[in-house]
């Protein structure tokens, strides 16, 4: 472009004026910005074209080529997405869980998508208008059980969120699944609170908290937390939901327990898949998990000895206080036998079968049918 | 209540054994007299039974300072023998509270979406190589940064007493939202013949970063007000940036989510400002730092080369229209700054724009020059 100043040069005997640096402005940035494009072509794998399948474009579908490679250790301490070109020299964010064996489950990506597809909103999806006044003793019992279930959900929330940020980006599927799990727990928290406050009752008495403490004190790693939170407590909660759904008083309760059950089943599925992976890929982990399970059973038994939850369940199962001791407790016993059978089945599947006789009392008594010893 | 209450016992081993061996136990039932406020009957409203609807009577009263160390649901009867399990760092209401948490949480539940099935992936068509590379660079960046807003709020949830469960619920919804954002941008990068490119390191462990905040409000001012605010403006420009319907949907849905997160930050800051005026100067210091980040590396239209160059290519429509793209970047940056100023004013800290403390007005003027 022709320069007017150049067309009219300064007289030769006068020195050229000293150039004054212009004030830097954003619009100068626009004029002066010379692109470098030095980021272009920096990729570890190009030409990837993942197509949506019958169920859409799922997280697991993306695991093609290098993008699906999940190393046994993830040393990168940044948020470098798996498969991206890392940027060197960045100060670490500080992730504690960098071994695949410490969190992995092959099913995490599928469970993540399933959780999203099966989302529900307690405010609008639960048919609250189907709740009708219940006899006072039953309402008391249900409110007591809901209080315990709110506490269980609270421990889910506090435990999962306490570990989530410590997990490396290289295993993003697990982080993402756990985001759904803590969100599920948030929904359970509000939903059971809503049920307790919706029908002329209120919240009951807080639980004894032994298992809560045991879960929250899992300092040995996420795997330990999984054993306590999702296997010991998880299997128990799952069984509770099943029985409470069976003895629901109205469609609202049926809906709540059925949906909470489906959510919890995903959490337990992750747990079992993770433990299977962990014991297969980490030295000594099988024995560690065995030990944790034995310790956990002791804590669980101590909580179960507390009469509050048991009696509240018996009132619900018996249809009132009058039949709680007989019919209600019989169903409670059946529920506990179901729980113990489920739990022992999990242990068996994980390759660490438990001898029912060695379960702490009185848990061991539920390992056999009531008339087995007769 | 027609229930005869027997002697209360904390432990009753025999009763459990009796249940196991089928003999009929004698029940205690003392727990029936140990409840929170009774006769509560929350009614569903126009939007169903929301958590605002159950905030009635004592159940709606969050304490100014929580002494709940057992994780007890707010309003439940305390059990003296219960274990203290919560080493909660956030126990003062003004540290985390906001007045519209229940609304934001219920909205989040209603507006959940699925990146697998709600995005019309089939509308993505092959793009010129420079544009696809730019899209993939931006998607790499967003995959990298989006879950900061998942990791960090999650950590604060675990540190907050359940007496303030309403804000915790919103933060849990945010963790879920960010997880979806992380996955949708990864999906975009791998859906159209491209791939992930180079990470920027923009979220590394620098002093002053969102990760390293020592206080919830400090974190929120960096994350919700500055960081997510800037990204929200960008996502709202989705129509300008998108090459196809799939990308338009992605930006639209992400913007919806981000708007809630930003609203959390604004409303919390407002509550903090009104209830803890002694902390206002401290909050101004956080905002000083947050403003530094407004044009920095964590902003896709900031001054970091890989992201701003890729944005210029996307907005211009190719390398040959780079200057057009840069013009649009500067317009977006101006808008980011204007929206940031509005948010801070709305939160009650507008004096910083009047007394010369903030550089934002100058940055807006420069962008307009």
What is the pLDDT averaged over residues B50-60?
97
Q: With 80 as the cut, is the pLDDT of residue A2 above it?
A: no
pLDDT at A13 over 50: no
Residues A128-173 have pLDDT tens digits of: 999 999 999 999 999 999 999 999 999 999 999 999 999 999 999 9
pLDDT of the residue at B15? 67
Q: Which residues face B194 on adjacent strands?
A: A48
Measured CA to CA, the distance from residue B43 to residue B2 in angstroms comes to: 26
Q: Do B20 and A370 touch (CB under 8 A)?
A: yes
Q: Supply the CATH classification number for the domain B126-368.
A: 1.20.1260.10
Q: Buried b / exposed e across A339-371, counting CB within 10 Å, b at 16+?
A: bbeebbebbeebeeebeeeebeebbbbbbeebe
Given CA atoms A225, A229, A232, A235 in this order, what sign does their dihedral have? negative
Cite the DSSP H helix spans in chain A.
Answer: 4-7, 26-32, 108-117, 122-125, 136-164, 172-196, 210-216, 222-226, 233-246, 251-281, 285-305, 307-318, 329-349
Give the nearest chain A residue to B24 (CA atoms). A326
CB proximity A142 to B under 8 Å: no
Task: Please tell me the distance from the alpha carbon of residue B161 to that of residue B159, in angstroms, as a whole number.
Answer: 7
Specify the pLDDT at position A83.
97
Mark yes or no for CB contact A81/B143 under 8 Å: yes
Tell which residue, A224, A271, A217, A260, has the closest CA to residue A120.
Answer: A260
Least confident of A7-16, B86-95, B248-257, B328-337: A7-16
Asked if the model's pLDDT at residue A20 lies above 60, the reply is no
**DSSP 8-state code for residue A126:** S
* Inter-chain CB proximity B155 and A161 less than 8 Å: yes
When pLDDT is cut at 50, 70 and 90, the band that residue A362 belongs to is confident
Instruction: Please judge whether A164 and B54 are an interchain contact, meaning their C-beta atoms are less than 8 angstroms apart.
Output: no
pLDDT higher than 60, residue A357: yes
Distance of CA B236 to the CA centre of its chain: 17
For the stretch B202-260, pLDDT in tens is 777 665 678 888 899 999 998 999 889 989 999 999 889 999 999 999 999 999 999 99
pLDDT tens per residue across span B347-365: 999 999 999 999 888 888 7
Query: What percent of chain A lies above the pLDDT cut of 90?
Result: 83
Which residue(s) pair with B198 in the sheet? A85
pLDDT (0 to 100) of residue B292: 75
pLDDT in tens, A214-237: 999 888 899 999 999 999 999 999
pLDDT score of B211: 82
Query: Any CB–CB contact under 8 A between B167 and chain A?
Result: no
CA distance A190 to A249: 19
- Separation CA A281–CA A288 (nearest Å): 13
**Are the beta carbons of A164 and B48 separated by less than 8 Å?**
no
The shortest C-alpha distance from A169 to chain B (Å) reads 9
CA distance B68 to A245: 31
Compute the Cα dihedral for A74, A78, A80, A86 and give only its sign: negative
Measure the CA–CA gap between A257 and A245, rounded to whole angstroms. 5
Spell out the alpha helix ranges (H) of chain B: 13-21, 101-110, 129-146, 148-158, 165-189, 216-220, 228-236, 238-241, 245-275, 280-294, 305-316, 322-346, 351-354, 360-368
CA distance B196 to B201: 14
Average pLDDT value over all residues in chain A: 90
Chain A contact set for B6 (CB, 8 A): none
| pLDDT at site B333 | 87
Q: How far apart are CA A226 and CA A275, in angstroms?
A: 8
Window from A102-106, A212-216, B36-40 with minimum mean pLDDT: A212-216
Kindly give, in sequence order, each residue whose CB lies less than 8 Å from that of residue B177, ignoring residues fewer than 6 positions away.
B108, B257, B260, B261
Mean pLDDT of chain B: 90
Joined tokens for residue B137: 């660079």
CA distance A15 to chain B (A): 32
pLDDT at B58 exceeding the cut of 50 = yes
Higher pLDDT, A79 or A60: A60
Average pLDDT over residues A261-270: 98
Q: How far is B285 from chain A (nearest CA, A)?
A: 23
Cβ–Cβ gap B205/A126 under 8 Å: no
**Mind telling me how many Å the CA of A30 is from chain B's nearest CA?**
6
pLDDT mean over A50-61:
96
> pLDDT grade, residue B12 (50/70/90)?
very low
Whole-angstrom Cα distance, residue A236 to residue A253?
Answer: 19
Does residue B40 surpass a pLDDT of 50? yes
pLDDT at residue A29, rounded to an integer: 52
Q: How far apart are CA B8 and CA B29, in angstroms?
A: 8
Does any CB of chain B come closer than 8 Å to the CB of residue A310?
yes
Q: Residue B53 has what pLDDT?
A: 98
Separation of alpha carbons B126 and B124, rounded Å: 7
Query: In A, which residues are within 8 Å of B81 by CB distance?
Result: 208
d(CA B83, CA A226): 21
Long-range contacts of A252-258 (CB under 8 A, 24+ apart): A252/A126, A252/A127, A252/A128, A252/A129, A252/A130, A252/A131, A252/A195, A253/A131, A253/A142, A253/A195, A255/A125, A255/A126, A255/A127, A256/A122, A256/A126, A256/A191, A256/A192, A256/A195
Measure the CA–CA gap between A201 and B37, rounded to whole angstroms. Answer: 8
CB atoms within 10 A of CB A269: 18
Token look-up 């905002």 returns B287
Instruction: For the beta carbon of residue A323, count every other beta carbon within 10 angstroms.
Output: 16
A53: nearest Cα among B122, B249, B188: B122
Residue position matching structure tokens 């196991």: B20
| Predicted confidence (pLDDT) per residue in B294-336, tens digit | 766 567 676 667 888 999 999 999 999 999 999 999 899 899 9
Report the complex ipTM: 0.93
**Residue boundaries of the structural domains of chain B:** 126-368
Q: Which two tokens stand for residue B70?
A: 């057992």
CB atoms within 10 A of CB A265: 16
pLDDT band with cut points at 50, 70 and 90 for residue A272: very high
To which residue do tokens 């079968």 refer?
Answer: A353
CB of A341 within 8 Å of a chain B CB? The answer is no
Confidence of residue B368 (pLDDT cuts 50, 70, 90): low
Q: How many C-beta atoms lie closer than 10 Å to residue A286's C-beta?
A: 16
Band (B18; pLDDT cuts 50, 70, 90):
confident
Q: Is the dihedral of CA B82, B87, B93, B96 positive or negative?
A: negative
The residue of chain A nearest to residue B5, with distances taken between CA atoms, is A321
Could you tell me the pLDDT band of residue B369, with boundaries at 50, 70 and 90? low
Q: In chain A, positions 68-87, which contact chain B (CB-CB < 8 Å)? A: 78-81, 83-87
Selected residues 99-118 of chain A with any CB under 8 Å from a CB in chain B:
112-113, 116-117
Q: Is B127 on the interface with A (CB under 8 A)?
A: no
In chain B, % of residues over pLDDT 70: 91
A338: which residues sit within 8 A by CB, 6+ positions away? A239, A242, A243
Report helix, strand or coil for A308. helix
Strand partners, A258: none
Please state, in angstroms and rounded to a whole number, the distance separating the CA atoms of residues B282 and B284: 5
Q: What is the pLDDT of residue B361?
A: 85
Between the alpha carbon of residue B311 and those of residues A170, B130, B133, the distances in Å are 26, 11, 11
What residues contact residue B328 under an 8 Å CB cut-off, 6+ apart? B240, B312, B315, B316
């Amino acid at each position: 472009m022709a320069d007017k100043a150049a067309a009219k040069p300064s007289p030769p005997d006068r020195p050229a004026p000293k150039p004054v640096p212009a004030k830097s402005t954003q619009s100068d940035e626009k004029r002066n910005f010379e692109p470098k494009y030095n980021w272009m072509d920096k990729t570890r794998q190009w030409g990837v074209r993942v197509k949506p399948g019958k169920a859409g474009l799922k997280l697991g579908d993306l695991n093609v080529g290098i993008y699906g490679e999940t190393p046994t250790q993830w040393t990168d301490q940044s948020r470098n997405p798996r498969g991206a070109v890392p940027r060197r020299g960045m100060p670490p964010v500080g992730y504690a869980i960098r071994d695949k064996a410490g969190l992995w489950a092959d099913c995490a990506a599928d469970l993540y998508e399933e959780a999203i597809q099966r989302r529900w909103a307690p405010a609008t999806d639960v048919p609250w208008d189907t709740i009708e006044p219940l006899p006072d003793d039953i309402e008391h019992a249900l409110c007591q059980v809901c209080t315990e279930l709110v506490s269980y959900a609270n421990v889910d929330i506090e435990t999962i969120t306490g570990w989530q940020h410590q997990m490396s980006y290289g295993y993003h599927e697990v982080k993402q699944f756990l985001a759904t799990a803590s969100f599920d727990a948030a929904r359970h928290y509000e939903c059971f609170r809503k049920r307790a406050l919706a029908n002329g009752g209120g919240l009951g008495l807080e639980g004894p908290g032994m298992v809560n403490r045991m879960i929250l004190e899992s300092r040995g790693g996420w795997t330990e937390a999984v054993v306590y939170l999702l296997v010991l407590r998880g299997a128990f909660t799952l069984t509770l939901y099943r029985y409470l759904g069976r003895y629901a008083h109205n469609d609202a309760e049926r809906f709540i327990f059925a949906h909470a059950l489906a959510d919890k089943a995903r959490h337990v599925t992750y747990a079992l898949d993770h433990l299977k992976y962990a014991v297969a890929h980490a030295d000594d982990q099988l024995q560690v998990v065995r030990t944790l399970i034995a310790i956990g059973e002791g804590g669980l038994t101590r909580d179960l000895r507390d009469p509050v939850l048991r009696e509240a369940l018996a009132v619900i199962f018996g249809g009132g206080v009058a039949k709680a001791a007989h019919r209600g407790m019989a169903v409670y016993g059946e529920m506990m036998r179901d729980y113990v059978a489920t739990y022992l089945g999990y242990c068996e599947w994980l390759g660490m079968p438990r001898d029912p006789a060695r379960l702490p009392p009185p848990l061991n008594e539920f390992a056999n049918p009531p008339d087995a010893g007769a | 209540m027609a229930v005869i209450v027997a002697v209360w016992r904390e432990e009753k081993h025999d009763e459990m054994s009796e249940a196991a061996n089928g003999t009929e136990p004698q029940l205690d039932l003392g727990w029936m007299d140990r409840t929170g406020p009774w006769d509560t009957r929350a009614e569903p409203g126009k939007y169903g039974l929301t958590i605002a609807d159950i905030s009635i009577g004592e159940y709606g009263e969050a304490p100014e300072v929580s002494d709940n160390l057992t994780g007890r649901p707010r309003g439940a009867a305390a059990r003296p023998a219960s274990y203290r399990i919560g080493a909660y760092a956030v126990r003062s209401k003004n540290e985390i509270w906001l007045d519209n948490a229940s609304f934001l949480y219920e909205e989040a539940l209603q507006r959940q979406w699925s990146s697998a099935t709600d995005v019309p992936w089939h509308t993505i068509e092959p793009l010129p190589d420079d544009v696809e590379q730019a899209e993939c660079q931006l998607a790499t960046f967003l995959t990298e940064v989006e879950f900061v807003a998942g990791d960090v709020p999650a950590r604060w949830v675990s540190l907050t007493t359940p007496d303030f469960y309403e804000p915790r619920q919103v933060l849990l919804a945010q963790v879920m939202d960010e997880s979806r954002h992380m996955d949708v941008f990864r999906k975009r990068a791998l859906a159209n013949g491209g791939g992930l490119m180079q990470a920027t390191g923009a979220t590394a462990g620098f002093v002053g970063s969102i990760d390293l905040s020592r206080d919830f409000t400090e974190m929120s001012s960096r994350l919700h007000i500055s960081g997510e605010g800037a990204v929200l403006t960008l996502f709202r420009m989705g129509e300008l940036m998108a090459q196809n319907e799939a990308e338009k949907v992605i930006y639209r849905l992400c913007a919806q989510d981000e708007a809630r997160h930003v609203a959390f930050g604004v409303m919390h800051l407002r509550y903090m400002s009104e209830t803890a005026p002694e902390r206002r100067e401290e909050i101004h210091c956080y905002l000083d730092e947050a403003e530094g980040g407004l044009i920095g590396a964590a902003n896709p239209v900031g001054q970091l080369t890989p992201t701003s160059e890729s944005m210029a290519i996307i907005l211009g429509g190719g390398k040959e229209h780079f200057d057009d793209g840069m013009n649009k970047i500067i317009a977006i940056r101006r808008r980011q700054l204007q929206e940031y100023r509005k948010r801070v004013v709305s939160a009650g800290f507008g004096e910083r724009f009047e007394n010369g403390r903030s550089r934002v007005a100058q940055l807006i003027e420069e962008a307009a020059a």
